[in-house]
Amino acid sequence: LSLINSDNNSMFVTGTNNNIGSTIEKSNQNSFFLFFTNNTKAGINVTNSSSNIISVETTNSLGDGIMLKNSHKNIISTFTIENGSVGLHVISSDNNRISTTVLLNRNDGVRVVSSKNNIIHFTAINNSGNGLAVHNSTNSVFAGIALNSTLDGILLNNSNANTVIGLSLQKNGRNGLGIEKSFSNRVRTFEVRKNANDGIFLNESLNNSVVLCPVVEGNSKNGVHLVLSNDNVIANPQQFGIVGNISLNNRHGILLDNSSHNIIGPYNIINNSLGGIKLVDSPQNILGSFIIPQINVHFVIPGGKDVICDGSEKAIVLNRGSGIEILASDDNLALYNFIWQNKGNAAHG
């Protein structure tokens, strides 16, 4: 299909073994259903086109499954984008609404570059780059699942003021969520498990708000790791009714390196291999609850042990190092932390 300078059409198109699956250029207010397989270049190219409604299934493209470039206010839904270069590639395109499933692509499942005000719902599985990669993009909403990516489940790079919801970030080859040189993003994760590096990693990033609940668990390095990142809030608001668990990570539950003025907590930090919380060259952070304890409650930690502590406290328990370790870090506050049965000290500096 090649559609150029055409408006107000409605089409159902299938094709296989084509040089290019579909080209839509300078065309607006069309409605398409497109099904393409085994295309030697891109599956579907949408360029300089706006206000289209497009439903897509595309597999086995040597180029990108879908490329959206300089195109705005489109509504796109995909059944599957499989075995392409980048599954869904959005470049300099704004105000689009996209729902996609991207599988087994040779680079990122979804890549968004220099775009703003988009809403993208995604399921990204077994892609050979990041599940979702966002570069130089702002004021968008991304929500989805990223499993078994070669790199990060979700990567924000030089991207600001976005909202990210990670329903499940598991078994990715680098971090569950990576935030690089990005500011003022709002992140909510539900399951962050068994990633090859850190569960959550922030590098040179400021003023981000990250809510981790219910679990960051079983990652090969740290549960949460901040490097050169300041003024972030990594918190679990009490209105969720439960305290998130950061547990069973192979290094620390939370590691801050050269990071300051962050607010961390409250979380249950349980059974991490090298300790609960570690601060290195990281001054003036707040660790723990901001609420004065008032009500004692029971909760159960792995191994069937009952612990009594306040519902607003953070429990740092059964870690195989110190509960809190502070190195070359001044003027930090640790508030209402329940520290119990760690292999090292309760807290030391």
Least confident stretch, 49-53, 178-182, 277-281, 314-318: 314-318
Report how far residue 310's alpha carbon sits from residue 156's, in angstroms, rounded to the nearest whole number. Answer: 35
**Residue 81's closest CA among 52, 48, 120, 24?**
120
Please provide residue 205's backbone torsions phi and psi, each rounded to the nearest 5 degrees. Answer: -125, 140
Mean pLDDT (whole number) for 44-68: 88
Q: How confident is the model at residue 183 (pLDDT cuts 50, 70, 90)?
A: very high
Q: Which residue has the tokens 């839904």?
A: 77
SS3 for 278-331, per residue? EEECCCCCEEECCCCCCCEEEEEECCCEEEEEECCCEEEECCCCEEEEEECCCC
Mean pLDDT of the chain: 86
Max mean pLDDT among 113-117, 210-214, 272-276 falls in 113-117
Q: How many CB atoms lie within 10 A of CB 4?
A: 12
Report which of residues 296 and 349 the model is more confident about: 349
Question: For 88-99, what is the mean pLDDT?
Answer: 97
Q: What is d(CA 200, CA 82) in angstroms, rounded to the nearest whole number?
A: 27
Q: Indicate if the pLDDT at residue 219 is higher than 80.
A: yes
User: Distance between CA atoms of 319 and 173, rounded to whole angstroms?
Assistant: 25
Write down the residue that tokens 């050269």 correspond to: 258
- The answer, as to whether pTM is greater than 0.85, is yes
Distance CA 162, CA 311 (A): 31
Give the pLDDT score at 59: 77
Choice between 30 and 335, residue whose per-residue pLDDT is larger = 30
What pLDDT score was predicted for residue 242?
A: 58
pLDDT digits (tens, 9 = 90+) for 274-308: 999 999 999 999 887 544 333 333 334 444 444 33
Tens digit of each residue's pLDDT (9 = 90 or more) over 248-263: 889 999 999 999 999 9
pLDDT at 344 over 60: yes
- The candidate with the shortest Cα–Cα distance to 53, out of 74, 22, 67, 71, is 74
Q: Find, among 218, 233, 297, the residue nearest to 266 by Cα.
A: 233
pLDDT score of 349: 66
How far is the C-alpha of 119 from the C-alpha of 147, rounded, in Å? Answer: 20
In angstroms, the CA 57 to CA 10 distance is 17
DSSP 106: S
pLDDT tops 50 at residue 235: yes
* Beta pairing, strands 296-301 & 305-310: antiparallel
- Helices first, then strands: H and E counts in the chain: 0, 35
Res. 113 pLDDT band, cuts 50 70 90: very high
- Integer Cα distance of 103 and 108 in angstroms: 10
